[in-house]
Amino acid sequence: MNDRLLGFISIGMKAGAYTLGSDMTERAARAGKTHLIILSEDASANTKKLVYNVAKTKNIEVIEHYEMDVLGAACGKPQLSVIGVKKRDIARQLISLYAKTVKGGKLDDRTEIPCP
């Protein structure tokens, strides 16, 4: 795995830092136990709507990147459309890595990276 972001996602999986799947992630987010949501680009329209609604309600950052099979492979699953990050420090690191590697150092033109 030569992608730093995917490598860090894989490490977080081993640390037990995630909820996997839309249902578990939604429950954790509504309970205030999610600090970041990673959403696959090819997730269904219903899944995307669910994720963005709960993220907006709970003020959670969403990273929409990779395809389901790539996210799944990083977590040892065949396919995965949603990952909820439960640990604040891992969420911050993932946001930072995403901003540096994918967005060229910027995350939606904000100078600071929020993480509730």
Confidence of residue 102 (pLDDT cuts 50, 70, 90): confident
Confidence of residue 1 (pLDDT cuts 50, 70, 90): very low
Please determine, for residue 114, whether its predicted confidence score (pLDDT) is greater than 50: no
Domain assignment present for 25: yes
Domain range enclosing 62: 4-101
Q: Per the structure, how many domains does the chain have?
A: 1
Report the 10 Å Cβ neighbour count for 69.
Answer: 14
Residue 95 sits in a domain whose CATH number is: 3.30.1330.30
Please determine, for residue 113, whether its predicted confidence score (pLDDT) is greater than 70: no
Give tens-digit pLDDT for 8-53. Answer: 999 998 889 999 999 999 999 999 999 999 999 999 999 999 999 9
